[in-house]
Structure 1
Amino acid sequence: MRKILNLILLTITLGLIVTACGGNNTANTAKPESSAADEPAANEPVKNEKLIIYTNANSDGRGEWLIEQAKAAGFEIELVGAGGADATARLIAEKSNPVADVVFGLNNMLYESLKKENVLVKYVPAWAGEVEEGLNDPEGYYHGLVKQAILLGYNPTSYTAETAPKDWTDLYNNPEFHGKYEAPTLLGQVTPRLVVAGILTRYRDEKGEYGISQAGWDEIKKLYDNGVGAIEGEDFYANLASGKTPLGTVVSGTLDAKEEQYGVKAGTVSPEVGVPMIVEQAAIINGTKKMETAERFIEWIGSSEVQGKFAAQFNSMPANTKAVAQANDAVRELYSSLKAQALEWGFIADHIGDWVEKIELQIMK
């Protein structure tokens, strides 16, 4: 009996030992020690996909500079350049199957059109609060990069501050300037459209054709009747410098480069009514398949560091207030003397297409 009892106790003991060993083996299998090779590297660089970017702000070396700077920051970008109005039309046409990932340049008027067409996706970058108040889209779809003044320029050997026109209206109302200024005929581009808008909006009339009185349309007809049409691909500043057409539109951000290129420093006019002042913006395209890379790019391009470098390189006036100190003295001085023309961007955005169509079909010959 005692032998039987001892045998039973021995069997039970061995069973407990085997169970315990099996449990320990299971635990070790479930929680193996991890090696450093199995863990993702904490400093592994973020992979940025190639971005397609539409812009009207890639001329005069700006596009090449941006591509180089972006590459150094880890971005591969392809810039597709076009006039602002043309770029806007293309983005709207492609909205159901977007090609672009990001857009920058353009202006408030065109971004409003893009927003209405659901082309943009809302994204507020970290630097948005550094932009001068009132320049960003309050709904968060686009944010300011560069301020640009649309100016009436003149050849300083042909005119002085006293003899030059004092306003755009002088060009076509004073016979002395007839045939000597470039008329804004390339209406596929933003700058000529803004020159026209700056004149037409002075004659706003809700009962008039497309919101403009007949007097306003008469003024625009005189603008084209007495000017020299712009030629696609021809640099107006070259004609200003040579005296061929010593009067016409210049953009503040390109003045220094043009002066260096042609050896002539254009004089500029500051009309009492003010000058059209636009803000180049940046936004992400709704439907991009590279959203995370696009967000990182927006954070980079609008930062005070990048905008400060851009301002110093291209004599621009940044919208980012923390970058203004890096702008050249001459640029800061120019902007301190300029008055912005009061323009209702919503009104302009709603009517500019009709204005352009009327001008191209009925006024320009």
Structure 2
Amino acid sequence: MKKVLKMACIAILCLAATACGNGSNGGNGGNGAAGGTTRPSDAAAASAAPENTASANDKLIVYTNANSDGRGEWLIAEAGKAGFDIELVGAGGADLTNRLIAEKNNPTADVVYGLNNMLYENLKKENILARYVPKWAGEVEEGLSDPEGYYHALVKQAILLGYNPEAFTPETAPKDWTELYQNDAYKGKYEAPTLLGQMTPRLVVAGILTRYTDPSGDLGISEEGWNAVRQLYDNGVPAVEGEDFYANLASGKTPLGAVVSGTLAKKEDQYKVKAGIVSPEIGVPVIVEQAAIVNGTKKQATAERFVDWLGSAEVQGAFAAQFKAMPANKQAAEQADPAIKALYSTLKTQPLDWAFLADHIDQWVEKIELQIMK
């Protein structure tokens, strides 16, 4: 009797295991449970899985201040090859920041790239950015991206003081921005940073003002610092909206002014003039273009895939080779042009308190536009 009972129990257990196995296979494969009918939850999972793993890329609206000099056209073409349909909306970095804040409750953009960490700090404070850590984050030079994961470094850009080599030699050129307004030899020969809706002019001003920080001064700056900026504008030639400064440098109209390392090679080739570069003892402002996803986008999955693609070593390396840029991605930096590597090897980075700048730059611009630029 014991033997019979034992064999019966074994048979029952085998039947139960077989039933469970059939049910499991039916759920995973969407072929139905043991009873031969498909459960609603299994059907939903089966139909959702292909969509989640191979969903189509939505069209993305991408805000950027880094689309000039063919960079925007290049990115659109390369993104298209990778399966992305993007529309670039270009403007100055400060203008884009203000636009994103204005659109906070009804965002238009899905992704924003090209702005620097100072502007991204303002966007982060306003809850404009969605936290996302791309696949290539670990390949970026340490300390360049947001440690909290809201924005990530793409390209390093140095703001340089350049000069026409036919107008000045390394001996006669200024050695620092401060000499432009302190030495009469340069009066009326440099472009003053008047287009303060753009980031480059803002950083030129910030590079001067931050030498005169004073907690008791107006907007954190001593009177000596504000007097220096007044002289900067009084003795320079105002920039004109729509004019290419490098064209004026090459022609000799304004042979001194700000140039950006990332566009320098293209400008030199375009105008057949190789600018001389000033290397101030204090250093030069070096900003980092970053990429981020806009909080509230309805195309989060596509935006994440796009950012993963955009900052990858492959894409940034190709971009560096095409535009002679200096990538933040260490693997991509190996593909940078030897000339741009050599340039960065000679440059010293000016120490800047980015948090201080982020807190004060808009107030400085307002004061300059209302009280100094008349």
Tell me what 1:76 maps to.
85
Q: Decide which of 232, 235, 239 is 2:244's aligned counterpart.
A: 235
CA shift at 1:46, angstroms? 3.5
Q: Deviations over 1:256-306 (max 9, x none)?
A: 110111110111101000000000000000000000000000100000110
Whole-angstrom distance in 2 between the partners of 1:185 and 1:41 = 54
**1:215 and 2:221 are equivalent in the alignment:** no
**1:141 and 2:150 are equivalent in the alignment:** yes
**1:250 and 2:256 are equivalent in the alignment:** no
Whole-angstrom distance in 1 between the partners of 2:154 and 2:272 = 29
Tell me what 1:364 maps to.
373
* TM value normalised by structure 1: 0.89
DSSP 3-state at the match of 1:160: coil
Note the aligned Cα RMSD (angstroms). 1.8
Whole-angstrom distance in 1 between the partners of 2:232 and 2:50 = 65
Q: Decide which of 128, 147, 153 is 2:162's aligned counterpart.
A: 153
Comparing 45-54 with 223-232, greater Cα deviation is found at: 45-54
CA shift at 1:43, angstroms? 12
Q: Decide which of 280, 300, 308 is 1:299's aligned counterpart.
A: 308
Tell me what 1:327 maps to.
336
Tell me what 1:278 maps to.
287
- Which residue identity lines up with residue 319 of structure 2 in the other structure? F
Q: Decide which of 340, 345, 348 is 2:354's aligned counterpart.
A: 345
Change (3 A) 1:44 1:348: closer
Change (3 A) 1:177 1:27: closer
Q: Deviations over 1:31-57 (max 9, x none)?
A: 7xxxxxx98879985300000010000
Change (3 A) 1:42 1:350: closer
Change (3 A) 1:52 1:28: same
CA shift at 1:174, angstroms? 0.2
Change (3 A) 1:99 1:156: same
- Which residue identity lines up with residue 345 of structure 2 in the other structure? S
Tell me what 1:162 maps to.
171
DSSP 3-state at the match of 1:199: helix
Q: How many pairs does the alignment contain?
A: 335
Q: Any stretches of 5+ residues in structure 2 without a counterpart?
A: 1-32, 39-45
**1:87 and 2:96 are equivalent in the alignment:** yes
CA shift at 1:30, angstroms? 3.4
Tell me what 1:55 maps to.
64
* TM value normalised by structure 2: 0.87
Tell me what 2:364 maps to.
355
Tell me what 2:206 maps to.
197
Whole-angstrom distance in 2 between the partners of 1:173 and 1:60 = 33
Q: Decide which of 246, 266, 271 is 1:262's aligned counterpart.
A: 271
Q: Deviations over 1:161-185 (max 9, x none)?
A: 1110000000000000000000000
Q: Deviations over 1:312-332 (max 9, x none)?
A: 000000000011110000000
CA shift at 1:130, angstroms? 0.8
Q: Decide which of 172, 176, 179 is 2:185's aligned counterpart.
A: 176
| Identity across matched positions, percent | 72
- 4+ runs deviating over 4 angstroms: 26-29, 38-45
Whole-angstrom distance in 2 between the partners of 1:196 and 1:45 = 48
CA shift at 1:251, angstroms? 0.2
Q: Decide which of 132, 136, 140 is 1:131's aligned counterpart.
A: 140
Whole-angstrom distance in 1 between the partners of 2:110 and 2:251 = 41
Tell me what 1:13 maps to.
none
Q: Which has the larger radius of gyration?
A: 1
DSSP 3-state at the match of 2:123: helix
Comparing 142-151 with 120-129, greater Cα deviation is found at: 120-129
**1:186 and 2:159 are equivalent in the alignment:** no
Whole-angstrom distance in 2 between the partners of 1:118 and 1:44 = 29
CA shift at 1:129, angstroms? 1.0
